[in-house]
Amino acid sequence: LFGNINMLDYCNSGIIVHKSTDFSLSLSNPQIINLCFILYYMFEMCVKIFAFGWRGYLSYRNNIFDGFLTILLLVLQITIYVTYRLPYSHWNPSSHGVMSLWEMVRLVNMLIVFRFLRIIPDIKLMALVASTLLDLLKNLRAFAGILVVVYYVYAVFGIWLFEGAIKPPPEIRYENITSNFSMECGTYEQLGYWPNNFDDFAAAIILLYDVMIVNNWQAFMDAYSRYTTEWAKIYFVSWWLTSSVMWVNLFVALILENFIYKWDRSHSCSVTDVEKIRYESSVQLIFKEQIQEPTEEELLCQLHQHPHLDLH
């Protein structure tokens, strides 16, 4: 029941956002509908607290998030009604200075959409994709750490090799650049990439990032090969191969490998079995079927032999 009414609230949130963009329209009906949903959320929260108790209710993160949004919506709505009275048919929030409060109501209504994420574990394929993304974040720390080290090494080598190689013209202005038609289109000078250089560490990191995302990386390579030597192309090509080609392929391979592994293990399993696969990570659970449990007589014998227990 609660999940079905949540779908209606998503529609209501969209109506509120759409209506509030045109203040010439009547805003009383969306606000009344919004108030009805706030009261429903209060009823839902009270029912859960009555059923689970305070400790049981607060033991679920979803309930904490839902309760926080419900109380926040209720406080904002009461503040609007107390400060500016009940809205009438031609009420305009911009004319009464309640724009900030109304924008906050819209924001909280959009946050309610995140309640929809709770259905992901109940759908097998969506649960598989979500678990793959979560595991990817866990495994991404080592991957990102290596990338940071490579960034640092290439930045240091770039500063050592190309520091001060390209010097911008003195008192350069944007008008002078645009009016100078002698510059070849698409070059380092014509694009105004003067701040992207190896004169300091921060600028070197930005330049390497531009090359990594293939943002006119040929302009940087051509400029430094003209201002220094042709051997500078080896530096930029090696960084392009390392970051844009090899690193992106490793990242995609990491995603596919994780997804294929989980798909193979859960191909013939239910949603409950998928959850079991996630939590079967201890040695005892993995080899539970091969472990022979001791009998009751053996346990009693071991207890009687314990030096610190007196069972007589």
What's the pLDDT tens digit per position in 246-287? 888 888 888 888 778 777 777 655 545 545 555 444 555 556
Are 216 and 244 within 8 A, CB to CB? no
Residue 74 has pLDDT above 90, yes or no: no
Residue 157 has pLDDT above 90, yes or no: yes
Rounded CA Rg of the chain: 31
CATH node for 128-264 = 1.10.287
Give the pLDDT confidence of 36-71 residue by residue, as tens digits.
888 888 888 899 888 888 888 888 877 888 888 888
Are 12 and 30 within 8 A, CB to CB? yes
CA distance 184 to 186: 6
Give the pLDDT confidence of 165-217 residue by residue, as tens digits.
888 777 655 445 444 446 677 778 777 888 888 988 998 999 999 888 887 88
Strand (E) or helix (H) holding 161: helix 124-162
CA distance 282 to 279: 8
Where do the H-state alpha helices sit in 59-87? Answer: 61-84
Read off the pTM.
0.52
- Give the C-alpha distances (Å, rounded to integers) separating 82 from 75, 78, 85, 99: 10, 6, 6, 15
What is the token pair recorded at 110? 């959009």
CA distance 39 to 212: 51
- Between 207 and 76, residue with greater pLDDT: 207
Strand (E) or helix (H) holding 293: none
What are the residue boundaries of the structural domains of the chain, listed by start?
2-118, 128-264
